[in-house]
Structure 1
Amino acid sequence: MNRFFDINDQVAVITGGNSGIGLSTAKRFHKAGAHVIIAGIGSGDNAIRDIEGGDFVETDVSSESQVKELMNYAAEKFGKIDTLVNCAGINKGYETLLNVDCNDFGANYSVNTMGVVFGIKYATPHMKYGGSIVNVASAAAKSGVPYLAPYVASKWAVVGITQTAALELGAQNIRVNAICPTSVDTPMAQAEGGEPQLAMEKVAVPLGRIAHPDEIAALIHFLASHDCTFINGQAINVDGGFSAGLSISAFNKLAHT
């Protein structure tokens, strides 16, 4: 019997896979029968223990040479790459655009944007039979967000890169999509400085909460599966209805101010 959303025996490389969305995705892929290579900064011991298997390669995605080594390792071990999840990301700097430290643009861009570029560049030569690339962008890739200009700029670029790669790689049967979540309950979202953003979203998101990492991993799994071979070049919202308009709670608060 064929399974829906099958990724059994896929070889999947997941950057930022030792925490947050990346770790939830790695766990889900492993349970679904994929061979998982986790890349991240620092130790991967906890991640490997949590998924009871897989490989960890310490990788700084802002380093082109390290990303190249990561993809070569995956291909040498398994003979191919089927899925790449570009999940590694940072958010450096909460400040207005007029007061921002301009170095924060470079810091965000080096990881959030160039990490995606390097991943695509060095994974695709090993996608011999086609494949799926999923770039974790953000709801901030589709609108402005106060106090987050460097992060916003880096994530808008991810959507543009996604669409360009989809055009260039389609003939090789490689699909490239982005996902655009609002805040997710991860260490990055819970970091100091992000409290106003989380409070705002709990009012503005119609579902009245932020996302759980497993909910984002489910969409990544969907896009990696063989059922989704005609979804390409999309930036898919996963935002609890945030992009649909004002929630009742937000509408009422604004109406009575």
Structure 2
Amino acid sequence: MNQHMPAQHQKHQPGDEHEMKPQPDYEPRYRGSDRLKGKVAVISGADSGIGRATAVLFAREGANVAFFYHDEHEDAQETVRLIEAEGAKAYAKSGDIADRKAVFSFVDEVLEKFGQIDILMNNAAEQHYQEEFENIPEEQFVRTYQTNVFGAFHLTQAVLPHLKEGASIIVTTSITAYKGQDVLMDYATTKGALLAMVRALSGSLASKGIRVNGVAPGPIWTPLIPASFPSEQVREFGSNTPLGRPGQPNEVAPCMLFLACEDSSYMTGQVLHPNGGTPVGG
């Protein structure tokens, strides 16, 4: 049965979770089993959505979590509270993920606070609705790449020298990298670039024992959705999937956990597809 969300719209990217109705589901669905005990995870964009759900799940599994976010301070404070409620330590810093100096400074602060980094999740993103390719402003195209691709590039370069054998890098790509999205064309191309990054970087780092994998979510109920689409399209969001509804962030976070922990020790250069049942290939 198709499930519809209430029509709604937010005026800024990447959106605020506390303004959404209904609120996304971030709560882990099961008790932790210390799969990340003693680990430190760095996540971009963990103030809300998939990033928040993953941060809380990582914390439940024993990891301390540091995250970089844009300017959604209320959401970020709630994520810190949720991490600490799981008995883990949290560190959050706001800034522009496209600012290389800010990203490197953040990583230095994480190392000063926690002394190590074991897991990197490149997750921060923005997207903009536009029906005609020729009407995409150059400024928007450039900005989307700066956030989605250059942000992952900067953060990975900053973290990589500090990763040891057994570390894991996870990249949030998208179903749009495989199927396209005719109203998110610039966003889709960035997610294709990130997919290529997973495949290329995994080969480069395999000899060092560092795994690189991706997750390609389908339509997931996060702040990006009301911040991107017209309100009436938000109402139909995800209803055309085989499961007939959008996914929730806590339905994606277990993919991140699987790739972060030793359960996936024989996987690198791969992508998981929590997308509501849509077949993808390539």
Same fold (TM over 0.5): yes
Whether the aligned pair in 2 keeps the contact of 1:8 and 1:33 (CA below 8 Å) is yes
Whether the aligned pair in 1 keeps the contact of 2:168 and 2:260 (CA below 8 Å) is yes
- What is residue 81 of structure 2 aligned with on the other side? 49
Distance in 1 separating the partners of 2:142 and 2:189? 10
- In the TM superposition, what are the counterparts of 1:12-161 in structure 2 within 5 Å? 12-42=41-71, 43=73, 44-52=76-84, 53-161=89-197
Whether the aligned pair in 1 keeps the contact of 2:170 and 2:214 (CA below 8 Å) is yes
1:176 and 2:212 are equivalent in the alignment? yes
Deviates more, 1:148-157 or 1:185-194: 185-194
Unaligned runs of 5+ in 2: 1-31
Identical-pair percentage: 31
Whether the aligned pair in 1 keeps the contact of 2:238 and 2:246 (CA below 8 Å) is yes
1:196 and 2:233 are equivalent in the alignment? yes
Shift of 1:227: 1.6
Distance in 1 separating the partners of 2:144 and 2:264? 31
Q: Which amino acid aligns with 1:51?
A: I
Shift of 1:64: 0.9
Whether the aligned pair in 2 keeps the contact of 1:5 and 1:227 (CA below 8 Å) is no
Unaligned runs of 5+ in 1: 246-257
Q: Which amino acid aligns with 2:142?
A: G
Q: Structure 1 residues 200, 12: closer, same or farther in 2, change over 3 A?
A: closer
Shift of 1:166: 0.5
Distance in 1 separating the partners of 2:129 and 2:139? 9
Secondary structure of residue in 2 paired with 1:202 = coil
Deviates more, 1:143-152 or 1:212-221: 143-152
Q: Structure 1 residues 192, 135: closer, same or farther in 2, change over 3 A?
A: closer
**CA RMSD between the two structures:** 2.0
Whether the aligned pair in 1 keeps the contact of 2:172 and 2:216 (CA below 8 Å) is yes
Q: Can you list the C-alpha shifts for 1:189-239, whole angstroms capped at 9, x where unaligned?
A: 122525537626312x11111110011111101100112111101122211
Higher relative contact order (CA closer than 8 Å, sequence separation 6+): 2
Q: Structure 1 residues 128, 218: closer, same or farther in 2, change over 3 A?
A: same
TM-score (norm 2): 0.80
Q: Which runs of 4+ in 1 moved over 6 A?
A: none
